[in-house]
Structure 1
């Protein structure tokens, strides 16, 4: 399992934001996306996740290998913590709910409604969904938002375990997750030099980027 990106250009709101981007991400490895706000980190991740088409270039990765964690936690407020994970486990055909509860320190909260969780607890539950997907390639957009230092360290351990098991992770973050061997990809040099129309305006929110 390898993510291969070749001469990729992506757009936000119909305007080209990144171009000429090529890289590979192999199993067992992590790649950290860096760059100033608005450079196109979220747009790149959404494109790789198949949520919007690239302007040009090639992306080689089976869609069934991808798990994407965006800014929103994607929780059902009327379900409990365990029920939220059971919902996603059923969609992906896995039985990993118990493991996800343990690894994201949610066992004591398993019967609490998602609506009654704190912001940090909701984020941990949102990230726990990654563990029930069984997907190999994690695309993570600022995954540590709302997490305290202990939870950041906890999630860093989860990512390291995922890599050790042969998974891979592409992460937009400025937070140190303790991934000592992770490579860093600075997106600044790939900023489109003269933004050009990229087609019809997308339906996604303009704040993404």
Structure 2
């Protein structure tokens, strides 16, 4: 029991851990993790990923999405976004989606982390944070996946282009736009064919 107590003593509330991080305090990590999950100390979020819940007056809080994704990927290079972010652009998208998208360099597919679903998409390029210019390009990239009036949205996007920083938008289109998006933005931004 001494090793289990040592493991418990080194856990910090609100932290997400990978199994291999915890082996330094345990001589029987799998047995100890099972014990801690069964007694409610830890929550198993995914294969080899555990959470020590932070307690509030309202009960246990879930881990922050970015903390969870960082541990799952073992990488800081990702962009966590959602189709709901498009609603901030003012181009007529109003739907709410229960979907989290993770642009990253390592994983592809849909994964349940805890009780939340994440859609991991491998991309060669994405910004450190979702700027309005990136979101506009990403909206056009993903328009076919949205439950919106596509033509109305595209018309609104063309109007929005005129209000945005043209240099930043051109850079976003060139860096993050798929072929269809580049073709769509080309007349509005006078893009070259490179």
Return the TM-score normalized by structure 2.
0.25
Q: Is the helix fraction higher in 1 or 2?
A: 2
**Larger Rg belongs to:** 2
Higher relative contact order (CA 8 A, sep 6+): 1
